[in-house]
Amino acid sequence: MAIGVKTMKRPTQQTSYLRATLSGMALTFKHLLRPKVTMQYPEEKSAPDWTLSGRWRGTHRMLTDEQGRAKCVACGLCPQICPANCIKLVPGEDENGNRYPLIYEIDEFRCVFCGYCQEVCPEEAIHVGVHYENSEYSRDRFVYDLERLCSQTHPVSTLWDPTDPKGE
């Protein structure tokens, strides 16, 4: 060996290039005929052995009460805890002294989808959603306002439950 390659002493059946080649080719041919694992995305979005986890944290959704108003009471906890500082909240107060959000905007580009807003929310109003198809034609369409957050219909994330870590 001109370039000083160390040759290991191994039994013949381990070092035969011919046998390794033939068994390799048999293997690839077997795979050629096997059922394929590809999921054809736009048409199929889930398969029997693959669905999106219920703990998936995607774009947000604001839940509403029976009158169709946002459940948010503008307590200010979610902009406080948000590590990406992507929630803009301006609180307002009606004549009965109930607080409600005048402006509630989430910049989905800044968001890191940690789910803290959902965890911290005392009214279970803001949620991260089980959803991943978010394309838009312009950047400013990614700042979701209150109306848009309320009109989302996708399922909301269950998040990770420390008392049930495996989701059972």
Residues that bind other proteins (CB under 8 A): 1-3, 5, 7, 10, 12-21, 24-25, 27-29, 31-38, 40
* Shortest reach from residue 49's CB to other proteins, in Å: 13
User: Which one, of 134, 144, 128, 140, lies nearest residue 87 by Cα?
Assistant: 144
Q: How far is the CB of 27 from other proteins (least distance, A)?
A: 8
Nearer to other proteins, 12 or 138 (CB): 12
Rounded least distance, CB 43 to other proteins, Å: 11
| Beta-bridge partners for 31 | none
The distance of closest approach from Cβ of residue 12 to other proteins in the complex, given in angstroms and rounded to an integer, is: 6
Q: What is the dihedral of CA 46, 48, 54, 60, to 10 degrees?
A: 10
CA distance 132 to 144: 15
Residue among 35 and 97 whose Cβ is closer to other proteins:
35
Spatial contact of 104 and 145, defined as CB atoms under 8 Å apart: yes
Q: Six-digit token pair at 166? A: 């495996």
Whose Cβ is closer to other proteins: residue 14's or residue 163's? Answer: 14
Q: Which is nearer to other proteins, 33 or 83 (CB)?
A: 33
The amino acid occupying position 121 is C
